[in-house]
Amino acid sequence: MTNNHACILPPLAELQGLLGLSETEAKARIAEACLRQPLQCPRCFGRETFARKNGRCGCRQCGCAFDLVDGRWMSIPSISARSWLILIKCFELGLNVREASRMAGVPRSTAYRAFRNIRLGLAAQDPVWAADPRIGVEALISNPMDGFLNYLRNWTARYRGMSPEEYPLYVKECQVRFEAQGQPLFERLLACVAAAKPIRVV
Ligand SMILES: [Zn+2]
């Protein structure tokens, strides 16, 4: 067995584990990740919230009722909790959208949206990228870490047809993968999509 195989086998076993989860078990895992983050009303962004008896949440400021995942990057109604965990694992493993959609049992467009939200969530965690992704890219590329540019070139070669608008998101993904140095990313990615989407001033 090569070292390469030794690295990839544990994550594949974890994928098998996620595939065996029930929706109830997956929901509990997702709820746990959401509850580690501050609860925020998705409508008025108020923090004065409370748990309702029906498992939903309520806002004391605007009075609305909402689900735990509302207003977060993982708030895509067509994706079940189980599919989300599988999609996150597929992203961690570097599978493409086609493979991930098959694993998670969702349409390709949905898997694409999930992957995009993971990347948006990663970018949103970085204040520089959140303010202006172009500045983030420029800072990273003009003063790169050793070996990063090669890594970036190799990793992004797999994404054919990437639009210029999307490019900064892929660079951020590469930065996160590069800095992780092969360490597991699943928990970080889960926390990232469980985070609230930032307030956009339109
Ligand atoms: Zn509210």
pLDDT averaged per 10 residues, the chain (length 202): 51 86 94 91 92 86 93 93 96 94 96 96 92 91 91 88 87 95 93 87 45
Ligand 1 geometric centre to CA of 5 (Å): 49
Compute the distance between CA of residue 73 and CA of residue 76 in angstroms, rounded to an integer: 8
Ligand 1 geometric centre to CA of 162 (Å): 37
Residue 176 maps to a domain: yes
User: Residue 78: what are its φ and ψ, rounded to 5°?
Assistant: -80, 0
If asked whether residues 17 and 64 sit together in one domain, one would say: no
Ligand 1 geometric centre to CA of 51 (Å): 13
Residue 38 has what pLDDT? 85
Ligand 1 geometric centre to CA of 58 (Å): 8
Compute the distance between CA of residue 77 and CA of residue 191 in angstroms, rounded to an integer: 18
The 8-class DSSP code of residue 145 comes to P
Q: What's the predicted TM-score (pTM) here?
A: 0.89
Residue 201 maps to a domain: no
**Tokens linked to 21:** 């989860």
Number of structural domains the chain divides into: 2
Ligand 1 geometric centre to CA of 88 (Å): 29
If asked whether residues 123 and 142 sit together in one domain, one would say: yes
Q: Angle at which helices 167-180 and 133-142 pack, to 10 degrees?
A: 50
Residue 107 has what pLDDT? 97
If asked whether residues 96 and 116 sit together in one domain, one would say: yes
Ligand 1 geometric centre to CA of 35 (Å): 17
If asked whether residues 132 and 170 sit together in one domain, one would say: yes
Cα–Cα–Cα angle for 198, 195, 11, nearest 5°? Answer: 140
CB 83 within 8 A of CB 106: yes
If asked whether residues 89 and 109 sit together in one domain, one would say: yes
If asked whether residues 56 and 81 sit together in one domain, one would say: no
If asked whether residues 143 and 102 sit together in one domain, one would say: yes
**Tokens linked to 173:** 């993904």
Compute the distance between CA of residue 115 and CA of residue 44 in angstroms, rounded to an integer: 27
Ligand 1 geometric centre to CA of 114 (Å): 25
Residue 53 has what pLDDT? 76
Ligand 1 geometric centre to CA of 64 (Å): 6
Residue 160 maps to a domain: yes
Residue 1 has what pLDDT? 41
Residue 7 has what pLDDT? 52
Note the Cα 142 to chain centre separation in Å. 26
If asked whether residues 184 and 126 sit together in one domain, one would say: yes
3-state secondary structure of 74: coil
Block residue for tokens 């493993």:
93
If asked whether residues 11 and 98 sit together in one domain, one would say: yes
Question: What range does the domain containing 43 cover?
Answer: 38-68
Ligand 1 geometric centre to CA of 65 (Å): 8
If asked whether residues 46 and 106 sit together in one domain, one would say: no
If asked whether residues 80 and 134 sit together in one domain, one would say: yes
Q: Which residues surround ligand 1, an ion (CB under 5 A)?
A: 41, 43-44, 46, 59, 61-62
Residue 29 maps to a domain: yes
Residue 198 maps to a domain: no
Please state the length of the chain.
Answer: 202
The 8-class DSSP code of residue 67 comes to -
Ligand 1 geometric centre to CA of 47 (Å): 8
CB 172 within 8 A of CB 119: yes
Could you give the C-alpha distances from 81 to 68, 86, 190, in angstroms and in order? 12, 9, 11
If asked whether residues 64 and 90 sit together in one domain, one would say: no
Compute the distance between CA of residue 33 and CA of residue 184 in angstroms, rounded to an integer: 16
